């Protein structure tokens, strides 16, 4: 019997989930003359190395500056449909991704830019994706809430609250069936805490001792609904009910998140089963860019200011040394200027191909299946 599988469950051949180490599939964005600074779409992407304070600070800055640039492009109408900015929550993505190995996987959320950048998605490709251009990570067809790259183990951002959890659980199960020691991370917000699918995912992960790290980014609100008026009990209490070790951590502190995530990832990789991290964090911007056009009064300016005092970037810059941080800031600014140039130079997809890529091709049927 598969270790950890419930008695009576016959092992089933899992549909292969492409390994992050696998050669790039043919379904990659076309190489549309990227500038010298932008890697060719044909080059396999590289999982971001976040193994030093310097690299982690650089990634914090990359996510922050990427989002600021994206906000500008929403305002100027280049990015249509808007985005859910990750500004303020960067320490969670960087701290968690720093704990992962190259073969691990993550399932993201509607507020997913930070997660996919911290995993190594090229900012130029992501910016092009947000702008709906063929040079985008998903050929401009996915947009902000569907950015994915299986070669990096990014199973996708997701517009459905809580939907990343069962995807991560399924990936963890498939990986274990395939004999891999990969770990899968499910990011989700406090708004997912009352979704049945999250509780089902916690249950299966616990029953089968799957290598999953559940990361709740508790930023205090689901759209405008304060968690305090919506969530009975606690986030960690939900995990504890399934016998899953659960820890609350300061989500504004990259190093605290990393330490907690490393412990959980090591446990998962060594067969110890799932863990749950509640990261207490805050979004400095509105729920969605549309909020800039609305007068909503669900939180006070004093509350926002108090959380801004806990901004993870100055904290990390001080720890690193402000001189080095400033040099990294300049490096990131140049990288993102090139990224924007690339994104804007990339064309929109040809409307004649609008129905392309709607259905998967090349799926391998399970052994014994009649097709």
Could you give the CA distance from residue 100 to residue 123 in angstroms, rounded to a whole number? 20
Of residues 248 and 262, the one with the C-beta less far from ligand TPP:
248
List the beta bridge partners of residue 246: 276
Of residues 133 and 283, the one with the C-beta less far from Mg ion:
283
Q: Among 35-43, 114-122, 162-170, 190-198, which window interacts with Mg ion (CB under 5 A)?
A: 190-198
User: Which residue of 190, 255, 311, 340 would you call a contact of Mg ion, by CB under 5 A?
Assistant: 190
User: Which residue of 138, 219, 236, 254 would you call a contact of Mg ion, by CB under 5 A?
Assistant: 219
Q: Which residue, 62, 59, 30, is CA-closest to 137? A: 30
Of residues 173 and 187, the one with the C-beta less far from Mg ion:
187
Contact 192, 87 (CB under 8 A): no
Could you give the CA distance from residue 285 to residue 193 in angstroms, rounded to a whole number? 22
Site residues, ligand TPP (CB under 6 A): 110-111, 159-161, 189-192, 219, 221-223, 287
3-state secondary structure at position 341: helix
Task: State in angstroms the smallest separation of the CB of 89 from ligand TPP.
Answer: 8
Q: Among 182-190, 196-204, 345-353, 358-366, which window interacts with Mg ion (CB under 5 A)?
A: 182-190
User: Which residue of 123, 153, 189, 274 would you call a contact of Mg ion, by CB under 5 A?
Assistant: 189
Could you give the CA distance from residue 70 to residue 130 in angstroms, rounded to a whole number? 8
Could you give the CA distance from residue 25 to residue 44 in angstroms, rounded to a whole number? 10
Of residues 123 and 286, the one with the C-beta less far from ligand TPP:
286
Task: State in angstroms the smallest separation of the CB of 191 from Mg ion.
Answer: 5
Quick one: what does residue 192 bind among Mg ion, ligand TPP, none, with the CB cut-off 5 to 8 Å set by partner type? Answer: ligand TPP
Interface pattern 289-328 for Mg ion (x via CB under 5 A): ----------------------------------------
Quick one: what does residue 136 bind among Mg ion, ligand TPP, none, with the CB cut-off 5 to 8 Å set by partner type? Answer: none
List the beta bridge partners of residue 184: 105, 212
DSSP string, 170-234: HHHHHHHHTT----EEEEEEGGGTT-HHHHHHHHHHHHTT--EEEEEEE-SEETTEEGGGT-SS-
Neighbours of 351 (CB within 10 A): 6
- In the complex, the residues that contact Mg ion under the rule CB under 5 A are 189-191, 219, 222
């Amino acid at each position: 019997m598969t270790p950890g599988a419930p008695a009576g469950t016959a092992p089933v051949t899992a549909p292969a989930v492409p390994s992050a180490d696998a050669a790039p599939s043919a379904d990659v964005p076309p190489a549309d003359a990227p500038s010298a600074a932008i890697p060719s779409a044909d080059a396999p992407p590289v999982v971001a190395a976040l193994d030093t304070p310097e690299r982690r600070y650089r990634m914090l800055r990359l996510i922050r500056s990427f989002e600021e640039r994206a906000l500008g492009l929403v305002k100027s109408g280049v990015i249509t449909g808007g985005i859910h900015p990750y500004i303020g929550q960067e320490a969670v993505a960087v701290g968690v991704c720093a704990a992962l190995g190259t073969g691990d996987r993550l399932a993201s959320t509607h507020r997913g830019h930070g997660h996919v950048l911290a995993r190594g998605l090229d900012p130029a490709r992501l910016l092009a994706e947000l702008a709906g251009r063929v040079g985008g990570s998903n050929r401009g067809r996915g947009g902000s809430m569907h950015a994915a790259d299986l070669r990096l183990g990014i199973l996708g951002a997701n517009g459905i609250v809580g939907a990343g959890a069962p995807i991560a659980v399924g990936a963890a199960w498939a990986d274990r069936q395939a004999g891999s020691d990969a770990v899968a991370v499910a990011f989700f917000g406090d708004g997912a805490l009352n979704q049945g699918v999250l509780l089902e995912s916690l249950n299966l992960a616990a029953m089968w001792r799957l290598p999953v790290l559940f990361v709740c980014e508790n930023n205090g609100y689901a759209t405008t609904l304060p968690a305090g008026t919506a969530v009975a009990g606690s986030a960690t209490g939900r995990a504890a009910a399934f016998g899953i070790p659960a820890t609350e951590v300061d989500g504004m502190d990259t190093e605290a998140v990393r330490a907690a995530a490393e412990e959980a990832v090591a446990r998962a990789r060594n067969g110890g089963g799932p863990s749950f991290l509640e990261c207490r964090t805050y979004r400095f911007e509105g729920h969605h860019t549309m909020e800039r056009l609305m007068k909503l009064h669900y939180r006070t300016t004093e509350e926002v200011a108090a959380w801004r005092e806990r901004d993870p970037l100055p904290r990390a810059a001080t720890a690193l040394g402000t001189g080095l941080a400033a040099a990294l800031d300049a490096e990131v600014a140049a990288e993102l200027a090139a990224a924007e140039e690339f994104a804007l130079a990339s064309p929109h997809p040809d409307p004649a191909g609008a129905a392309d890529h709607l259905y998967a091709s090349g799926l391998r049927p399970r052994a014994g299946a009649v097709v």
